[in-house]
Structure 1
Amino acid sequence: MPYDVPFRHQQALDPSALTTITSGLHALSRAIDDCRNAGVSLEADAAVILLARHLGTLTKSMPDDAILRRRATESIAELQRFPALLTLAIRGVAYDAAAKDLFHADGRRAMHKLAAALCLPDDSYSIRSNRSGPAASGEITLHGEEVWVQLSLGALGPDYEVSFRRVRGRDDHLGDRRRFAAIRELLNPERFAERVRRELRLAPTSAERVTLFG
């Protein structure tokens, strides 16, 4: 076995430095490559088996299967509604004109759904896109009489793709303090609209007035 190396066996015997799934997978992947280079069966290699088992120990402190299965099911439902938008939020659209086109098209559709969930009259808001430069995603903005919502893949990273605040008219571009939400919240427009109305203390919709005073 002239191309075999002892490093994977050393890591397998003392994997204490492999404290994350990423580092564990990297070590396992390198061990598999070593086996292939040496012509060793990776299915029977002791180091590969030990490193694979170590991956299991790294997940013991994580949520149990029932919680993870529920999250996976919810993710599937989200991806079925807006598969491209969620994927693009993860991978980014910088320097990819086709991806940016898709991001802005799906982003505008998501904003129209949010406007409907907020019961905004058609003539009371605008939805605009700012494509920005090739290195950035740009922004899609919903601007109404009381509410401003913006979608952007900015520097704040995951779970901060959506920002929203209360405004005083459609000429108000500063508004009150910004709040943040994950893009997956925007893709559930009814639930997100409830959060926006609650946190910004928006005026009740016609349907809510009927419920309150009817």
Structure 2
Amino acid sequence: MYDVPFRHQQALDPSGLPTISTTLRAIEKAVEDCRNAGVDPDSDPAVVLLARHMAVVSTNRRPRAVLRQACNRRLEDLTRFPTLLALAIRGVEYDAGAKARFHLDATAAMAALAEVLELAAGTFEVVSIQGGRDESGQVLLAAEKIAVTVAIGRRHEGREVSYRAVNEGAATPNRFAPMAELLRPRRLATRLRRDLPDAFAPVASLPIPIAA
């Protein structure tokens, strides 16, 4: 274990930390230094002083209630305009963080679709296929009689969701739907049942022979 003086120097003279971003980075580095030194960062005087400096550099002096209202409004906006839709518009090529978020949210959306379609556990799987750095990759919902895929990027614009019936292992041609449909799983499920009726047709039961 070892300790260094830098965080104490920054805490005593934080003039080089004029913004929230620079102060946050200094706090993160100070916490890392504490761990290397075996010091509890919650009680380290340098870390505490740097944390207090965060309040000094914040230029937003609005009351707490006003800030909470602004956060709530932003949450409402994000609910109306989900991350998947935003990512479909901006793309995720060469952005590892955005790509990871796309795969996370798309996997959750496919799981929600499977639930609405009443696919029994063990009869389907949701697969994340990463692809290269220059593409989004895709997330696939694969079941016995249907396959639904979502991918984003310029060549998928307006038709991010593709779906098809699977007949005895043979795939039929793809049909397409926009990302907004995946975000409304009941609506997409209705489309799938309408466009792929054979995939959702009930299995006819065999007659039970009656002994003479």
The bucket for the TM-score relative to the shorter chain is 0.5 to 0.7
Shift of 1:158: 2.0
- Give the residue type in structure 1 aligned to 2:200: A
CA contact (8 A) 1:152 1:161 kept: yes
Aligned residue for 1:203?
200
CA contact (8 A) 2:123 2:143 kept: yes
RMSD over aligned CA atoms reads 2.4
**1:149-171: CA deviation from partner (whole Å, max 9, x where unpaired):** 000014533211010000035xx
Aligned pairs (5 A) from 1:47-86: 79-80=78-79, 83-86=82-85
Aligned residue for 2:177?
181
Aligned residue for 2:105?
106
User: Whole-Å Cα distance in 2 between the matches of residues 78 and 140 of structure 1?
Assistant: 26
Shift of 1:176: 0.5
User: Whole-Å Cα distance in 2 between the matches of residues 189 and 78 of structure 1?
Assistant: 20
Unaligned runs of 5+ in 2: 1-74, 204-212
Aligned pairs (5 A) from 1:135-150: 135-150=134-149
- Give the residue type in structure 1 aligned to 2:147: W
CA contact (8 A) 1:118 1:193 kept: yes
Shift of 1:78: 9.3
Q: 1:127 to 1:81 in 2, by over 3 A?
A: farther
CA contact (8 A) 1:82 1:187 kept: no
CA contact (8 A) 1:168 1:175 kept: yes
- Give the residue type in structure 2 aligned to 1:200: L
Q: 1:196 to 1:154 in 2, by over 3 A?
A: same
Q: 1:205 to 1:122 in 2, by over 3 A?
A: farther
- Give the residue type in structure 1 aligned to 2:183: L
Number of residue pairs aligned between Structure 1 and Structure 2: 128
User: Whole-Å Cα distance in 2 between the matches of residues 78 and 196 of structure 1?
Assistant: 29
Q: 1:116 to 1:80 in 2, by over 3 A?
A: same
Q: 1:95 to 1:193 in 2, by over 3 A?
A: same
TM-score, L = length of structure 2 = 0.56
- Give the residue type in structure 1 aligned to 2:151: S
Matched, 1:193 2:192: no
- Give the residue type in structure 2 aligned to 1:163: S
Q: 1:126 to 1:105 in 2, by over 3 A?
A: same
Q: 1:87 to 1:133 in 2, by over 3 A?
A: same
Secondary structure at the residue paired with 2:194? helix
Shift of 1:83: 1.7
Secondary structure at the residue paired with 1:123? coil
Aligned residue for 1:123?
122
TM-score, L = length of structure 1 = 0.55
Deviates more, 1:193-202 or 1:79-88: 79-88
Shift of 1:204: 4.7
Unaligned runs of 5+ in 1: 1-75, 207-214
User: Whole-Å Cα distance in 2 between the matches of residues 119 and 137 of structure 1?
Assistant: 28
| Moved >4 Å (runs of 4+) | 76-79
Bigger CA radius of gyration: 2
CA contact (8 A) 2:125 2:141 kept: yes
User: Whole-Å Cα distance in 1 between the matches of residues 135 and 87 of structure 2?
Assistant: 12
**1:59-95: CA deviation from partner (whole Å, max 9, x where unpaired):** xxxxxxxxxxxxxxxxx98951672111111000000
Aligned residue for 1:94?
93
